Amino acid sequence: MITVENAKINDIPFLHIVCANKREEKLPLVIFIHGFSSRKEFNLHYAYLLAEKGFRVVLPEALHHGERSIGLTGQQLNIHFWDIIIQTIEELAKVKDFFEEKKLIDPERIGVVGTSMGGIITLGSLSQYSWIKAAVSLMGMPYYEKFALQQIDELKRNGIDLPLTEEEMTQLMNKIRNLDLSLQPEKLNNRPLLFWHGKQDSVVPFGPAFHFYETVRPLYDEVPNYLQFISEEKAGHKVSTNGVLETVKWFETHLLSK
């Protein structure tokens, strides 16, 4: 039987999914990060399939989403986009530490995955945490600085000013650059990384993710099977059934077999 627990780590709500008869065992961990304007419950199908394979799965709630919503409009959420990303990456360490202190996870078998904004967060987290042993980006992209500058330009064209002083903007851009995996691809360090992206995606375009994949392929010359890009010609901004199953298979291959 697969159990689903709704709990909190300090002020971070999360769902904890695990096979009941393995609940107290030290298991490989997968953290799944939801997308922009989504919520943790909407990815339970991934968690169920992963738990069936023997993973402990944690779905944290991102800042200003789901249980943490404070009623922001879509436009207000857009303004806080990078705050959400930065804070979620910081909170991943808190989630990992919580379960590690309870001796419920194997620190050598930890994976991170996310959809859309969650995929973007996944790629940024690889620039920060060597304890992530395998990752999957579903409709994400790693070009933080370029994407942030494009967003700022778009907001300005729409007559929307960011509520930040010049100094605060400089500090934010410094944080964004620090998390930008495209500026420090060596941080991948041959860790297994899978991309899934639909070619018709109009929300997070296909091109940047594939360009990054092509750029870092030479880094994986010694372990080419550790880097994979799955594209689907007719898919838009929604992960296909094949994408879901390949995500589970990726973690099964690179974490369970260790």
Q: What percent of the chain has pLDDT over 90?
A: 83
Q: Are 188 and 218 in contact (CB under 8 A)?
A: no
- Supply the pTM of this predicted model: 0.95
Q: Are 199 and 232 in contact (CB under 8 A)?
A: yes
Q: Which CATH number fits domain 2-256: 3.40.50.300, 3.40.50.2300, 3.40.50.1820, 1.20.1530.20?
A: 3.40.50.1820
CA-to-CA distance for 258 and 253, rounded, in angstroms? 8
Q: Residue 13: is its pLDDT beyond 60?
A: yes
34-43, 149-158, 214-223: range with lowest mean pLDDT:
149-158
Q: Are strands 12-19 and 27-33 parallel, antiparallel or unpaired?
A: unpaired
CA-to-CA distance for 105 and 99, rounded, in angstroms? 6
Tell me which DSSP letter residue 134 carries: E
Residue 27 backbone phi and psi in degrees, to 5: -120, 160
Dihedral, 169, 173, 176, 182 alpha carbons, nearest 10: 160
20-34, 72-86, 95-109, 174-188: range with lowest mean pLDDT:
72-86
Q: Are 92 and 101 in contact (CB under 8 A)?
A: no
Consecutive H or E run containing 206: helix 206-216
